[in-house]
Chain A
Amino acid sequence: MKFRSVFDIIGPVMIGPSSSHTAGAARIGKMARQLFGRQPKWAKIYLYGSFAKTYKGHGTDVAIIGGLLDYDTYDDRIKDAFRFAQEAGMDVEFIEEEGSSDHPNTARIKIGDDNGDFELVGISIGGGKAEITELNGFELRLSGGSPAILVMHNDRYGAIASVTKVLAEREINIGHMEVFVKSKVKTP
């Protein structure tokens, strides 16, 4: 059963026109902002597939910027997000990509400031739902639907055990866990 709540059917409240191209795009932007943890100073947004073809008509651009400004899907400041981005001191650039992507509604977002930057890929999967599928080259699946902890660490013994120990001490159970290794640490 994919749809368990009545509010999946009667909802979400959102700025139009498209649940997938506007609300879902805003959620990708907001997840990027939350993972970054602060207001970025610049953003480069690469759009693929249907996002690249129709983003201006659907307001996908302002929706993503709105998300990067930490707005919700129903925040009507989304319409004027370019102006609010300027006021917040965030430079934004959109790049339409010709190449194909696994999902028709895909955005690659690079954001940063003087203290660092990162890159993620988000997809809008319909009805306003979105997922993050890649972060700094690591594959992942993050929907934002449940509380999640993202830990980036060097590949050392006991790193995961130390995280689960903290959760156990706080009496928190893990519903789902994924682990990825990009490159192994070479032992001397």
Chain B
Amino acid sequence: MFRSVSDLIQITKERNIPISEVMIEQEIEESGKSREDIFAEMERNLDVMEKAVEDGLKGVKSRSGLTGGDAVLINQYREEKQPLSGDLILDVVSKAVSTNEVNAAMGTICATPTAGSAGCVPGVLFGLKDRLNPTREEMVRFLFTAGAFGQVIANNASISGAAGGCQAEVGSAAGMASAAAVEMAGGTPEQSSEAMAITLKNMLGLVCDPVAGLVEVPCVKRNAMGSSQAIVSADLALAGVTSRIPCDEVIGAMYQIGQKMSSTLKETAEGGLAATPTGKALAAKIFGSAAE
């Protein structure tokens, strides 16, 4: 069983197989299920992600009224104007936002790795779909590759905002998405690892400070930024740019930072954006009206 990103890369080299295949074989061994069953289960997750992306692009609204409708705006802008950041990036972003808006509106999503960070992976995947024209199998493999990197983070640091801050949620999700994007674009396992390191380095220290404790503000837009960063990191890695700090050590740094982070900045809604005058006013308004 691989415990680190370097283990993972080592196995791909020794056996000359992609990261997704290492993850699939390990899942077969751990669960005792057949390859077909495991593939089918992951494909069901893919179906859920696709449906969430579609639903959000039609426009949804959350129970609190804090979020919803931005995916529609972004998509309209993308179709009518020429986005400054490029069409692909905004396509990815609209699909990430779409997923998190559906989540906030109590729609059905697949946690990747959590509900609050569920937009990055499908945003990148379905945004790349039109560019790279992957087969359905390649799309399922994208999720296994993302899962392999997520598993290393979960076992060596954290994927929970309450334990490690937002770096552990959106940071992990964006890192996973960038690594999987590299594999889908034909990059090497090492380049996947570089992309993840580059993404995570820029996410270090990101706190979890949700307004009113709800998975809405700033979570939805953090998924927008996380998914766009995943694409840029993937491009850097594919260009041959490497991280001076190895991926596993970046994950180690993320764990240490999470340990040192004040609990007011770890999903308690006591600090950061949640503690701003507007954040507090929104919380009072939501819970005031909800208490009726």
Contacts and interface: CB of A to CB of B under 8 A. Distances in A.
B111 A17 contact: no
Most-contacted residue by chain B among A11, A18, A50 (CB, 10 A): A18
B3 A57 contact: no
Interface in B137-190: 143-144, 146-148, 150-151, 154-155, 159-160, 162-163, 176
What secondary structure prevails in chain B residues at the interface with A?
helix
A2 B144 CA distance: 18
Interface stretch (B87-95, B212-220, B223-231): B212-220
Given A16-B109, A74-B108, A5 B31 contact: yes
B148 A6 contact: yes
Interface stretch (B99-107, B191-199, B234-242): B99-107
B163 A5 contact: no
Contacts, number: 145
Given A6-B148, A9-B159, A54-B212, A15 B107 contact: yes
Contact of B44 (A2, A8, A13, A59): A13
Interface string B36-63: 0000011011001000000000000011
A12 B110 contact: yes
A127 B159 contact: yes
B63 A19 contact: no
B251 to A, nearest CB: 13
A21 to B, nearest CB: 8
B45 A16 contact: no
B141 to A, nearest CB: 12
Contacts of B30: 4-5
Given A4-B30, A9-B151, A11-B45, A17 B215 contact: yes
Interface of A: 1-20, 22-23, 50, 53-54, 56-59, 74, 76, 78-79, 104, 126-128
Given A79-B106, A104-B268, 7 more contacts: A6-B27, A10-B113, A10-B143, A11-B110, A16-B107, A58-B214, A126-B163
Interface of B: 1, 3, 23, 26-27, 30-31, 41-42, 44-45, 48, 62-64, 102-116, 118, 121, 143-144, 146-148, 150-151, 154-155, 159-160, 162-163, 176, 212-216, 268-269, 286-287, 290
